[in-house]
Structure 1
Amino acid sequence: MSVCSSTRSDGEPTDELESVSWYHYDLTRHATEALLLSNGVDGSFLLRSSQKGPDCFALSVRAKDSVRHFHVRRICGRYSFGFNEFPSLLEFTSHMANQPLLGSESGNLIVLKHPYPREVEEPSIYESVSVHTAVQSGRRHSDLVPTAPALGTKEGYLVKQGAIIKSWKQRWFTLSRNELKYFKDKMFEEPIRTLDLTACSAVQFDYSQERVNCFCLVFPERTFYLCARTGAEADEWIKILRWKLSQIRKGR
């Protein structure tokens, strides 16, 4: 009986799989959904390990306001995806580049547009980030453009409660790297304050206020209370902020 091993003795993936920039080894299903819904766009996708076994994976794709998961198996170096089987990872990624449509359970088609990289260097000024893009819709593997939008960012208006006078004022918030800044308005260049998320201990919904769609950021010296226009928007902020905190705790 031959043994086909595709993982190292320590359980980590082989070099071939590590070379895929959009393969996320330790990302859970729940974390994947939060990540793609918070940071991704329609068509964002990634490959992750599945709990079904060491040679089982999931291709996760954001489709509008949901995330779909598709099973991928690896047997003796061959990749099984749906009714197709590919002799190598290169063949598999080439297939994804040239056949980017996937049928969901509802019968709709999902287009793979934006690979979500495992590691992205976040510059101090967010414009764009150069990454190795393994797949881009409508292009061959050799023609892929090595650029992708910056990840881990969010901006928008929130209503913030004052520290001393408990009045509520609308402020423009931007999230980049480990900093959450808020400005008097969108057109102002200098922030009123910059919050260092490395000092933040928790982000959670808050129901103690008279307003709805509120959440809070807990810091040693103060808890900041913020409100979004909708519950969905508040949820997006909470998800991306919690993801940031999880990355900080992992030391990334």
Structure 2
Amino acid sequence: MAAATPLSILVSASTSTSTDQFIAKTLDTNLRFQRAKTASNKTLYNDVLTKALKICFEDNSVEKVGALKAVMTEVETVVVTDSPVCGYLLYMLADACRQLTLYTDALNAANHSLKIRETLYGQDSIEVSTCLDLLVGISIAANALDHAVSLFVRSFKCNVFGSYATYAQLSTSIARFKATLLEREQPFLAIKMLAQTSEVLQQQLLQSIQQQQQQQQQQQIDTSALCSTLLGTLLDRADLYDNKLNEYQSTIECYELITTLKGIPSKDVGHAYELIIQTYFKAGRYDQTKDNVAKYLEMATRCFKVNSVDMAMALLYCARLMEEQADRPSPTRLCDQVDALRYYLCTLKIARETPGGIVLRDLPSDTPSATQKTLRDKVETILFNNRPLRLEEVANMVDRMLQITTTEFLLNGQRSQNWLLKYLYPDFIAEDALREKAETLPAKCGPLSKLNGLMKSWKQMWFTLNRESLSYYKSNQDTKPKGELSLLEIKSIEVIVSKEKKMKPQTHCFQLVHPKHTLVLAAETEEQMREWITVLNKAKQYWEEWWSTNLVIEGA
């Protein structure tokens, strides 16, 4: 069959054309679908279709529905069933039945119209999308909401991949349908709809990125509206999980998806991290809160210029949150306070070092100088509340900190945190902070074979690494060590590749080189040997930096 004229000219009956003009256009369009092309049949064709189309312009009523049902039998005698005019008449019949709450008749007519449109124009055509929208309305009215969601998503997919609607229009349709589902107290169906529409948008975004790569940057594809609509669906879905179902983990998964999508603007990714952090914080998940603060700042460092408003805003958010977490009875309160100070100090340095200064919208300051004063007040307050110092001493300390630190140093979590632990707290409180960090410090225990220096024989011992000390015991049941070694005194940790007889039968050997004696050890497997060497080196580096940390920073 020859390709049909798009049905959109039949559905709309534009107000700029008269009824007679519309009927004449429809008669002309459907001539190729006439059953028998004779002079007498053409007259019948014109009379029957004119009669049917005029009924469509009548006000909706039971009589109109009856008349349309009756005339359809006549129409099918002059044109084939799979014709544009039959699709149109069935569409109008379905809409009239919907408005008269004759939902069964409405669904039957709309589904029949849909099949005709799929045959004429294809599964993903705008004509099919228009009919799907009608079916959505009928299904909602009939309270068949699950079916309505499936129809809505199919229509949405047609509109996205066919570019039949703008992303602003698509966002509006999603919002309206979501509101309808929530009015019917169906949050699960609203979430299902948002999940499926976001999947469609993700597919379109991926296609756009791939198309851009294939064009080798010759023509920039604007995906801003697409990204905005996709973000809206994910954020709405997260909001429903959070406020309607109280499922914080599902809420976080929606936000985390935003951080993994290609093509999403960095500012929106940053906002998603803030929402992840805030959700974990509300749930009292301290470890996850701190982990995502670190991820957020890693992303900000990678995507934003160091001396920029965007970087300063990210740091300010993290500073406020860690300060608030330090006020709670968290297991890492002292370290949280240090991180809050670190982020405030880094924000202050950016505000001071950015040419022309910056103004941060989240601060009650409308000038660069006022912004710097507000940030400095925060730094001084934290110092004053944690050290027995006079105000002028605190001011001098802040001046010194600003003078000898760099933004890059403050963003280096381990080094700057240890430095500030000593700066912020007296020694005995700094030790308490170290105990808070115990789970994150390098540590390990397990069996290793030790080479006896005199007898040149191997003996299995139980080794424990705690802070900067490596102790070994006769067994893991003993409480008194047979020996102990400070990692700070070790010169190097090396794999032994020698095939000397004294190493036999051990094959996975390594040594801790000490100025006075060398400790030769062996693990059961190469993997275990590598694990011990890695953790010992990490511990050695950490504690060397800790004990060497002072108020002078090399290269600052």
Task: Sort the TM-score into its range (normalised by shorter chain).
Answer: 0.3 to 0.5
TM-score, length basis structure 1: 0.48
Structure number with the higher helix fraction is 2
Higher relative contact order (CA 8 A, sep 6+): 1
Structure with higher strand content:
1
TM-score scaled to structure 2, two decimals?
A: 0.23
